[in-house]
Chains A and B, each alone.
Chain A
Amino acid sequence: MRYAILLLGGPYSAQAAHSALRFARAVLARGHRLEGVFFYHDGVQNAARLMAPPQDEPHLVDGWVGLNAEQGVPLMVCIAAALRRGLMDEREATRHGKQGHSVEAPFELTGLGQLVDLGLGCDRLVTFGP
């Protein structure tokens, strides 16, 4: 089956991201396809490039990046929710006259239309709330 995940919970402040990552791995282990993870609401903070948790805690960005590297899972971040929260890639940083950037590939800033397409295009969308 084709799965998708909508993540609304921020990293380390809610369990949502850990639950979603674990669910994603279980979906793939059962032979399904994961068409994408969409980050929205506080979930966009999972894309923070500078995330630096203590070494004895799971590194969420590394977890998401691993999912993309191993299985090619697209990591889609709502651009409107991200910009409000200070999350932007190099292109947006330039556009907004900011020094430095807080989001990088394989995370991609995209619009909510992608969430709609993902949700209606896949067989199962599972939301992990804050």
Chain B
Amino acid sequence: MIDAMRDAMLAWGDTGLVGWTVLKILVIAVPVIIAVAMFVWWERKVIGWMHVRMGPNQIGPWGLLQAFADVFKLLFKEVTRPSAANKTLFYLAPLIALVPSFAAWSLLPFDWGLTLANVNVGLLLLLALTSLGVYGIILAGWSSNSRYAMLGAMRAAAQTVSYEIAMGFTLVCVMILSGSLNLTEIVMAQAGNKGFFDWFGFPLAPMLVIYFVSGVAETNRAPFDMAEGESEIVAGFHVEYSGSAFALFFLAEYANMLLIAFVATVLFAGGWLSPLQGWITADVPWFDWIWKGGWQWTFIKAFGFSFLYLWFRATFPRYRYDQIMRLGWKVFIPICLVWIVVSACLKYFNLVTMGA
């Protein structure tokens, strides 16, 4: 049916191609928005359980509709603006924060061939796009014309730029091992018949940890949420935002969190490959994705990684600012530099095998 739809669209020529691409974008973007809503519900539920509370339980079954209730509340609220704010930038900032976080989703491979843009320099493009999100935060902080917002923006900018370096280095290790920048090829380099021992999470275990912690810092989430430390600077860069403008920041932050979880899956946990790959080879309809791999695994693993975000938030107290900087510059970057050499040696002496 989908093939017939595509052929019908492509018969229109260039217009049809654009329309088909827009359709594909919607197929990714709409589920991301819904996933963000459900993830907010899941976050509140999980943190509630960890705090021995109920979490949301009033609206809908198990409180499932709570997130949508919040969304509607935010959408109907008035969008206020400080009278001395820079009007254009004030309204532009949430959009600038949102666009890169959604654009990066187009690069993710969910299954073999199941990706919107199979770019050759995918990994670099991903890094470039995620590094653009900080502009939204800086502009929000500056254009609000408020000291708290400004301080939050400064903190966010310094933190994001610092952790981007460590994150880039972890990606370098993945590039060295896989020999490619294409995300699909990176996943296929982790295929093999040794089950989950073939994934890059094994030879690059410290890099997986550093990547994920940098990802947490990059998205300004607890315990690295200095940018919105409510005990010192109220709510940081989005203190002056209300209603739907605030909702956009919220959406961007959660879309980024889920993105980091998916990218960690693709780079270090074998993407759609099964942890049982090569151990079972039976053909069973409906169930053989469990050992042959399929899009289900991508989502299961990403769900696991995104759960870590919630676990961190419920467990760790917030870092002090100088400690964040120390962790990024003096701990992560040296470890990364050493591990780049290690992974180069692994590759040179053929200690890890690429692909099946």
Chains A and B are bound partners: no
